[in-house]
C-alpha cells in the first residue's frame, strides 16, 4: 500500500487491479495473471480508488443452484397467481358458508341417488341369479345336464353384479373426492371472509373408506377375502343368501334393525391386486322410504377394515 502512490504516476494511463493470490496476499498491478482472472478483483482508478468490484466467476454448482432457485421462484409465482384466481372464483360463486354446504350436500345426494338405483339393480339381479341356480340345482338332482344357456346365464349375471358393485365403489370414491374438495374450499372461504370455523367443520374428512380393503397379490387377496367373508357372517343379522367367487350377499333385511351386507372382491383392471368392498343392504331403495344409515350399520362399516386387518395379523403371527 505504501508503494502504491509511487506507482500511480507511471501507470496513470493504465488500468490498475487489486487482487489476491491463493495465500491471501494482496497485489496491485496493471494486469492479472490468467490463473487469477476469474477469482475476483477490484478495478482501481489512476488515483488508486476503487472503481468497480468484479466478483469471482461462478462455479457450475453455483450456476445450477441459481437456476434451481429461479425455477422455484417462478413456480411459486405461478402458484400464487393460481390461488388468487381460484379465490376470485370462490368468492364470486358463493356468498356464504351455507351456500357451499348446500352445494356440497346436493352433489353428494345426487351421487347417492345413483348408488341407490345401482343397489336396487343388484338386488333384482340377485333374485334372478337365485332362480337360475335353483333351476340348475333341480336339474342336477334329477341327474340331467345343465344346459349351456343356463350356465352362461348364471355367469353373465354374476359378472353384471360384480360390475355394478365396482360402479358403486367408484361413486363412493367420487363422494370422498367431493368431501375433500369442499373441505378445502370451506376452509379457504372462511380464511378469505375471516370467519371462525366450528370444531366440527375444522375436522378433516377421512382420506380412506373404512369399508374398503386393498390387496396387492393374489395370495394376499385370497387371505383377506376369506376373512372378509367371515366378518360378514359374524356381523350380519340375516343369513348369507348367495356366495360366489367374488361376491357374497346376505338375504335382504326383514326389519329396520336388521343388518344385511354385501361384500365384493373387485380385481384391478391395470394388473394384480384387488379391492374388497363391504356395503350395506336396505329394505327398499325407493326414495324417501327407509333411512339405511343407522348408527349400528355405520359401526359395522367402520369396523370392517380394522377387524379384517387385525385378524390377518393374528393369523400371520401363528
3-state SS string for 246-284: CEEEECCCCCCCCCEEEEEEEECCCCCCEEEEEEEECCC
Q: Are residues 161 and 267 in the same domain?
A: no
Residue finishing a domain among 187, 207, 227: 207
Write the CB contacts of 94 (distance below 8 Å, at least 6 apart in sequence).
Answer: 100, 103, 185, 189
Q: Are residues 103 and 196 in the same domain?
A: yes
Nearest to 236 by CA among 147, 297, 167, 303: 297
Residue 68 belongs to some domain of the structure: no
Q: Are residues 101 and 198 in the same domain?
A: yes
The pLDDT value given to residue 87? 95
Tell me the torsion sign for CA atoms 286, 291, 296, 300: positive
- Put simply, whether the predicted model's pTM sits higher than 0.85 gets the answer no
Residue 62 belongs to some domain of the structure: no
Which residues form the domain of 193?
A: 74-207
CATH assignment of the domain containing 271? 3.30.310
Nearest 5°: CA angle at 271, between 269 and 272? 115
Q: Are residues 229 and 192 in the same domain?
A: no
Please, what is the end-to-end C-alpha distance for the chain in angstroms?
Answer: 85
Q: Are 263 and 278 in contact (CB under 8 A)?
A: yes
Number of domains in the chain: 3
Q: Are residues 142 and 21 in the same domain?
A: no
Instruction: Using DSSP bridges, classify how beta strands 260-267 and 247-250 pair: parallel, antiparallel or unpaired.
Output: antiparallel
Residue 60 belongs to some domain of the structure: no
Residue 283 belongs to some domain of the structure: yes
The pLDDT value given to residue 239? 95
Residue 160 belongs to some domain of the structure: yes
Q: How far apart are CA 273 and CA 221, in angstroms?
A: 7
Residue 65 belongs to some domain of the structure: no
Q: Are residues 114 and 23 in the same domain?
A: no
Q: How far apart are CA 306 and CA 231, in angstroms?
A: 11
The pLDDT value given to residue 6? 45
The pLDDT value given to residue 202? 56
Q: Are residues 193 and 269 in the same domain?
A: no
Q: Are 44 and 28 in contact (CB under 8 A)?
A: yes
Residue 144 belongs to some domain of the structure: yes
Residue 165 belongs to some domain of the structure: yes
The pLDDT value given to residue 42? 86
The pLDDT value given to residue 58? 80
Q: Are residues 80 and 186 in the same domain?
A: yes
Q: Are residues 198 and 233 in the same domain?
A: no
Q: Are residues 148 and 227 in the same domain?
A: no
Q: Are residues 222 and 271 in the same domain?
A: yes
Q: How far apart are CA 87 and CA 94, in angstroms?
A: 11
Q: For every one of its 318 residues, what pLDDT tens digit does the chain have, with 9 covering 90 and above?
A: 444 444 444 444 567 888 888 888 888 888 888 887 788 888 888 777 888 888 888 878 888 898 999 999 999 999 999 999 999 999 999 999 999 999 999 999 999 999 999 999 999 999 999 999 999 999 999 999 999 999 999 999 999 999 999 999 999 999 999 999 999 999 999 999 998 877 655 556 667 899 999 999 999 999 999 999 999 999 999 999 989 899 999 999 988 889 999 999 999 987 789 999 999 998 887 655 456 878 999 999 999 999 999 999 998 887
Residue finishing a domain among 154, 183, 207: 207
Spatial strand order of the sheet with 50-54 comes to 26-29, 16-20, 41-44, 50-54
8-state DSSP, 238: S
For residue 254 the three cell numbers come to 326383514
Q: Are residues 90 and 152 in the same domain?
A: yes
Amino acid at each position: 500500500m505504501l508503494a502504491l502512490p509511487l506507482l500511480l504516476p507511471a501507470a496513470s494511463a493504465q488500468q490498475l487491479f487489486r487482487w489476491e493470490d491463493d495465500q491471501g496476499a494482496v497485489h496491485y498491478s496493471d494486469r492479472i495473471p490468467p490463473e487469477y482472472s476469474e477469482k475476483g478483483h477490484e478495478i482501481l482508478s489512476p488515483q488508486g480508488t476503487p472503481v468497480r468490484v468484479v466478483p469471482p466467476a461462478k462455479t457450475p454448482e453455483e450456476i445450477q443452484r441459481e437456476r434451481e432457485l429461479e425455477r422455484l421462484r417462478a413456480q411459486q409465482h405461478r402458484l400464487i397467481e393460481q390461488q388468487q384466481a381460484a379465490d376470485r372464483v370462490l368468492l364470486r360463486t358463493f356468498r356464504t358458508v351455507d351456500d357451499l354446504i348446500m352445494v356440497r350436500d346436493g352433489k353428494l345426494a345426487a351421487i347417492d341417488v345413483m348408488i341407490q338405483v345401482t343397489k336396487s339393480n343388484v338386488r333384482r339381479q340377485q333374485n334372478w341369479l337365485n332362480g337360475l341356480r335353483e333351476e340348475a340345482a333341480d336339474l342336477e338332482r334329477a341327474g340331467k345336464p345343465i344346459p349351456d344357456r343356463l350356465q352362461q346365464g348364471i355367469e353373465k349375471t354374476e359378472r353384471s353384479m360384480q360390475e355394478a358393485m365396482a360402479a358403486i365403489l367408484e361413486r363412493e370414491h367420487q363422494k370422498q373426492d367431493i368431501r375433500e374438495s369442499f373441505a378445502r374450499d370451506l376452509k379457504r372461504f372462511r380464511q378469505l371472509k375471516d370467519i371462525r370455523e366450528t370444531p366440527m367443520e375444522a375436522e378433516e374428512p377421512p382420506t380412506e373408506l373404512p369399508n374398503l380393503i386393498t390387496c396387492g397379490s393374489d395370495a394376499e387377496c385370497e387371505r383377506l377375502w376369506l376373512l372378509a367373508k367371515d366378518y360378514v357372517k359374524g356381523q350380519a343379522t340375516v343369513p348369507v343368501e348367495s356366495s360366489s367367487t367374488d361376491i357374497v350377499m346376505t338375504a335382504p333385511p326383514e326389519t329396520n334393525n336388521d343388518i344385511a351386507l354385501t361384500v365384493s372382491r373387485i380385481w384391478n383392471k391395470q394388473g394384480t391386486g384387488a379391492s374388497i368392498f363391504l356395503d350395506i343392504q336396505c329394505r327398499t331403495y325407493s326414495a324417501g322410504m327407509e333411512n339405511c344409515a343407522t348408527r349400528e350399520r355405520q359401526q359395522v362399516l367402520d369396523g370392517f377394515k380394522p377387524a379384517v386387518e387385525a385378524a390377518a395379523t393374528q393369523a400371520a403371527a401363528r
